[in-house]
């Protein structure tokens, strides 16, 4: 009997808002064989991430077409490889931007498996000569160690964005030991920033400062955990105010020198968003203030477990807008995110991609 085809929503060329012929199309394909160390997941919820836009449009100049996005998704296990012992059929699991690592190198052994030289990304990657396709597909096969069990009190739709935006903003807290006695600032209150604020509250930071170009967010950031708000429209303070600054959004007009003046001497600037163009950081802003610029890439398997546990206990949840799982609805979701209409994460809800 022939193997069942998987169905997903693919772009076959760079996505352009005003050219419908470049938008997602239904794509049926035969999956590679399930490896012994893998599980197959029937996807029930998948976030539409800002990274998906960069990849779909080839803004980062590394997309391989056809491309099926989706690297923050949750579903139930529908097949289990012979060597997998810790997961069973129907277990509810989630997958992040990394779906495989070697498990034996120094990075994997030191809880940095997301940097493994043999890592495979959940989509736009390559494994055994097959391109990887993400959660805009009805089913996905991943290494079982990267299929993370989801706490019962986190829904599929709320849990999905935690697997990218959640882990991206959580890992710096763990890496830099940010908690009581520390103050943080968050620049850009969007898909990443609204979660960084919540982690600051969950980690019991002394001060959590929200910094936004939108005055309208002054009240809602309080609900997210901020105890101070700064409007970029009104200008930045002329003194340092935080130990760590999370940059969750930036653009051509970003004044990096002014932002760095907000950080106490010896502090850290954590870069979390990835602009499509280089950024201009004045060296003096670093040298004269003994600042460190830190970059982090999602998280390891263990980081994902820790993050979900804290999210479960501290009620850290993304603010989401659910969209249907039809091709038309998913394309509209992509267009809405491109137009800046997400508040704060868009999530494809429901099984199937027909």
Question: Residues 311-328: pLDDT tens digits?
Answer: 999 999 999 999 999 999
* 20 has a pLDDT exceeding 50: yes
Binned at pLDDT 50, 70 and 90, residue 2 comes out as: low
Determine how many CB atoms are found less than 10 A away from the CB of residue 328: 10
For Cα atoms 112, 113, 114, give the angle at the middle one, nearest 5 degrees.
90
Confidence class for position 253, pLDDT limits 50, 70, 90? confident
- Chain region(s) in the chain for CATH 3.90.180.10: 6-163+318-349
pLDDT digits (tens, 9 = 90+) for 46-80: 999 999 999 999 999 999 999 999 999 999 999 99
Burial category of 345 from C-beta neighbours within 10 Å (exposed 0-12, middle 13-18, buried 19 and up)? buried
Q: Which CATH class is domain 166-295?
A: alpha beta
Model pLDDT for residues 110-145, shown as the tens digit of each residue: 999 999 999 999 999 999 999 999 999 999 999 999
Q: What is the mean pLDDT of residues 171-198?
A: 98
Where are the domain boundaries for CATH 3.40.50.720 in the chain? 166-295
pLDDT at 66: 98
pLDDT surpasses 50 at 1: no
| pLDDT for 324 | 98
CA distances from 153 to 85, 191, 268, 349 (A): 24, 21, 34, 17
Q: Helices in 253-300 by DSSP H: which ranges?
A: 256-260, 283-287
Q: What is the pLDDT of residues 195-251, one digit of tens each?
A: 999 999 999 999 999 999 989 999 999 999 999 999 998 999 989 999 999 999 988
**CATH entry, 6-163+318-349, from 3.40.190.100, 3.30.450.20, 3.90.180.10, 3.40.50.150:** 3.90.180.10
* E-state strands within the chain: 6-10, 25-29, 38-48, 73-80, 92-95, 98-100, 120-121, 126-127, 130-131, 139-143, 148-149, 183-187, 207-212, 228-231, 242-247, 263-271, 292-295, 320-323, 345-349
pLDDT (average), residues 289-313: 97
């Amino acid at each position: 009997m022939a193997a069942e085809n998987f169905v997903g929503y693919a772009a076959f060329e760079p996505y352009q808002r005003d050219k419908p012929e470049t938008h997602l199309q239904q794509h049926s394909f035969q999956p590679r064989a399930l490896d012994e160390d893998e599980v197959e997941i029937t996807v029930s919820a998948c976030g539409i991430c800002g990274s998906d836009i960069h990849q779909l449009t080839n803004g980062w100049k590394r997309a391989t077409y056809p491309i099926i996005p989706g690297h923050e998704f949750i579903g139930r296990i529908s097949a289990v490889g012979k060597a997998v012992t810790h997961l069973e059929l129907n277990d509810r699991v989630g997958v992040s931007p990394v779906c495989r690592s070697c498990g034996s190198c120094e990075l994997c052994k030191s809880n940095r498996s997301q940097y493994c030289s043999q890592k495979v990304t959940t989509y736009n990657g390559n494994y055994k000569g097959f391109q990887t396709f993400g959660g805009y597909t009805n089913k996905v096969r991943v290494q079982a160690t990267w299929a993370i069990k989801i706490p019962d009190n986190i829904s599929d739709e709320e849990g999905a964005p935690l697997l990218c935006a959640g882990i991206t903003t959580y890992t710096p807290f763990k890496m830099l030991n940010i908690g009581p006695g520390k103050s943080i600032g968050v620049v850009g209150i969007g898909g990443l920033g609204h979660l960084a604020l919540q982690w600051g509250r969950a980690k019991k930071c002394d001060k959590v400062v929200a910094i936004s170009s939108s005055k309208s967010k002054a009240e809602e950031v309080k609900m997210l955990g901020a105890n101070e708000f700064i409007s970029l429209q009104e200008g930045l303070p002329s003194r340092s105010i935080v130990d760590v600054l999370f940059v969750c959004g930036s653009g051509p007009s970003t004044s990096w020198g002014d932002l760095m003046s907000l950080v106490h001497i010896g502090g850290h600037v954590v870069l979390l968003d990835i602009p499509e163009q280089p950024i201009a950081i004045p060296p003096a802003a670093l040298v004269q203030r003994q600042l460190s610029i830190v970059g982090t890439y999602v998280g390891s398997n263990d980081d994902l477990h820790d993050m979900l546990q804290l999210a479960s206990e501290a009620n850290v949840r993304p603010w989401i807008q659910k969209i249907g799982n039809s091709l038309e609805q998913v394309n509209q979701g992509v267009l809405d995110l491109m137009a800046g209409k997400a508040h704060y994460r868009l999530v494809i809800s429901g099984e199937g991609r027909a």
